């Protein structure tokens, strides 16, 4: 950080010699304002710990709901498989009787 301040002071001195004090001051203010607005915009888009916690809670709810639905689907699949096996066995026994 010390080096950065030293470089800024050197740049300010060089620009003041070339452009004048008022122009250099205006340019530095413009750069500071632009940088500040950019940082503020970036901070607004960052997620907080609460945001991440809320997302994790929502994901847990969705996973629980999906697991419940998958359990129901598995139950119905076994019911239909048993029905299919029963129908197939009935057809096989009908053919064997004749």
**Left, alpha or beta for 20 (phi > 0: left; psi -120 to 50: alpha)?**
left
- Comparing 12 with 80, the larger pLDDT belongs to 80
Q: Between the ranges 1-5, 30-34, 43-47, where is the mean pLDDT highest?
A: 30-34
**Alpha-carbon torsion 53, 59, 62, 63, what sign?**
negative
Whether pLDDT at 1 is above 90? no
- pLDDT reported for residue 3: 56
Q: Is the pTM of this model over 0.75?
A: no
């Amino acid at each position: 950080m010390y080096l950065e301040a030293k470089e800024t002071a050197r740049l300010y001195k060089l620009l003041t010699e070339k452009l004048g004090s008022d122009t250099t001051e205006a340019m530095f203010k413009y750069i500071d304002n632009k940088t500040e607005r950019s940082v503020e915009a970036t901070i607004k888009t960052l997620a907080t710990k609460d945001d991440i916690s809320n997302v994790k809670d929502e994901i847990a709810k969705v996973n629980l709901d999906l697991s419940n639905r998958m359990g129901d689907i598995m139950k119905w699949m076994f019911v239909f498989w048993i029905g299919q096996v029963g129908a197939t066995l009935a057809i096989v026994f009908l053919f064997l009787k004749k």
